[in-house]
A and B are shown apart, each in its own frame.
Chain A
């Protein structure tokens, strides 16, 4: 426990995050003082609310990583649980899905994280795409309600894939044994989360500053080409600059962070499309005040599994 604090580079990463938080808090304060009223005020209040949420999230994340592998696993398991709870609340399931949902929440998802804990990669990689894939429709069929059967089975399976399977690849980085990088895998997880979340933030910032041309206004009115290009480029630059914390060379780090940014964008776009389909603005409509957990991690859901496999393919012998 707390060996993370002996990893100087990890501490530097923390320091960087802390610095960013302080700077953004100051900027938020200054903007608040400058615009006391008017339409930009809502944007600024929203920005300050986001910054406050970031402080909390970073603190929780820092503590989890400090506790070590188990801490990160528990944290991500909780995030998976909360995300899946939001997803299943909004997806129209029927009475006949009850037991399938029970299994998804209390057996399939915990098992996925348990497999990471015991480092059983082979089963971790196929448990949900293969075993759960067979289990879910069977269990719904046994319940006997055939109305919208295919839709229900597909929606539940998709939820498990996104919230449990995809997301679990982020803490699964901790089970990779990269030669010359042993014991530092927490840095890799932090790298993924920093680049991914900064890409979200920077796309938002660039979009607010310069955004004009909408990418897919039907899906997400806030996503603009200016925000996308600016956000991806600046977050890639940031990721490249963090190469010293990873097993990558600067060029590799540029490629990795670029991939993370693009996939993060894809994840956000797909989740927006799902929200449009269901007819909600945020997955957290039920939780007033802020968007849901799923809105925070949608980009990570797509970036984590691909990043995991890239690292595993190229850096684990």
Chain B
């Protein structure tokens, strides 16, 4: 199958997610554009990716792939089908670098992950990334993992767009199967380039700040 066509189930799930979350999308810092981008957002619900993805115009949507954790999404056949066939996700080994003690091996693993993400970007794709690496409670944004920084250095031509997803943790929190209908907000911020000579930690903190500054209602 052509990786740039939208699977009908994906469109269906996107419509359902939009219906349940009543999401209001605001492009506060940029406009939808077909150029290559990495959208990075806070993560508190399984709906996050689908809602963010569905907010993009369809021609951009067809070229936008999520980054998902391999250990979680390969566990059952349904999950694997969803990420691989329906959403064409890029599956990555989560925490692969920290699992190993050997610095050289960690470096090698990190390189490998980066290669995979860069390959997924290719020449025309965009990515959706949740740099926290795992779903939080929705109250605070956790520390960002370093992949975003390294990827940004590797591909300076790709725009990094922060986004904030609000209230989705109440619609479908971690550990629940059934969603509850509530209204939610999605705000896209201003693209955030890595400054010349910027250190990893400084950039990651700035990126986290960029995401959390898009919060519109504030903590409940």
Interface positions of A (Cβ within 8 A of B) = 81, 85-86, 88-89, 92-93, 95, 98-99, 101-102, 105-106, 285-288
Q: Is the CB of A89 within 8 A of B178?
A: no
The smallest C-beta distance from A80 to any residue of chain B, in angstroms, reads 12
Nearest chain B CB to A88 CB, angstrom units = 6
Is the beta-carbon distance between B181 and A286 smaller than 8 angstroms? no
The CA-CA distance from A277 to B178 in the complex, in Å, is 30
Q: Mark B residues whose CB is within 8 Å of A.
A: 22, 24, 137, 167, 170, 173, 176, 178-185, 217, 220
User: Taking the nearest CB of chain A, how far is it from the CB of B1, in angstroms?
Assistant: 35
Question: In the complex, which residues of chain A have a beta carbon less than 8 angstroms from the beta carbon of B179?
Answer: 102
How many Å from the CB of A148 to the closest CB on chain B? Answer: 12
Given the interface pairs A98-B173, A286-B185, the reply to whether A88 lies near B24 with Cβ below 8 Å is no
Of A88, A93, A102, A287, which contacts B178 at CB under 8 A? A102
Pull 7 A–B residue pairs with CB atoms less than 8 Å apart, ordered by A.
Answer: A89-B170, A93-B170, A93-B220, A95-B137, A105-B180, A286-B22, A288-B24
Q: Which residue of B lies closest to A101 (CB)?
A: B180
A285 to B170, CA, bound (A): 17
List the 10 closest A-B pairs by CB distance, nearest first: A286-B183, A101-B180, A89-B183, A89-B182, A85-B181, A92-B220, A102-B178, A102-B180, A98-B176, A105-B181
Query: Could you say which of B137, B183, B185, B217 contacts A85, with CB atoms under 8 Å apart?
Result: B183
Taking a contact as CB atoms under 8 Å apart, the answer to whether A89 and B167 are in contact is yes
Task: Tell me the complex Cα distance, A88–B20, Å.
Answer: 13
Among B24, B181, B217, find the residue whose CB has the most chain A CB atoms closer than 10 A.
Answer: B181
CA distance A285 to B167 in the complex (A): 14
A285 surroundings in chain B (CB, below 8 A): 217
CA distance A105 to B19 in the complex (A): 14
CB distance from A296 to the nearest CB of B (A): 16
Whether A85 contacts B182 in the complex (CB less than 8 A), given A92-B220, A93-B170, A95-B137, comes out as yes
Nearest-neighbour CB distance to chain A for B170, whole angstroms, equals: 7
Whole-angstrom distance between the Cβ of B194 and the nearest chain A Cβ: 33
Residues in A neighbouring B217, C-beta threshold 8 A = 285
Instruction: Name which of B22, B180, B217 has the most chain A CB atoms within 10 A of its CB.
Output: B180
